[in-house]
Amino acid sequence: MAQRGSGWLGSPSITTSTANKELVPTSPAQWVNVKLGFYKFEFRNLQACTVKINGGNPIYLDAEQGFVSGSEDATIYNFVIVESGIQYQWVGAY
């Protein structure tokens, strides 16, 4: 199987959320007209929270439930935590 990705990005440490702040970083300047997306993505929440993925409907996650998507799932272009004050970490492959 050929290599799909070119790198990883993620939280440098446990981070505390700001309500509705985008977790997926903006694309590097040299990626002209290409939006950064993760073909694999893992999110770990320390408290119960609600997330929105790719602009979809709110999804409730219990404390420490987390969220994982793999290469067979939709690419993650947008991921927000609805509430502020949630401790979390994430990692994504692009």
SS3 state of residue 37: coil
User: What would the pLDDT profile of 37-64 be if each residue is shown by its tens digit?
Assistant: 999 999 999 999 999 999 999 999 999 9
pLDDT of residue 1: 62
Stated as kind and residue range, the H or E segment containing 53 is: strand 49-53
For residue 94, pLDDT beyond 90: yes
Task: Give dist(CA 75, CA 89) in Å, integer.
Answer: 19
Average pLDDT over residues 5-32: 91
Model confidence, pTM: 0.90
Amino acid identity of residue 3, one-letter, is Q
Neighbouring CB atoms inside 10 A of 74's CB total 12
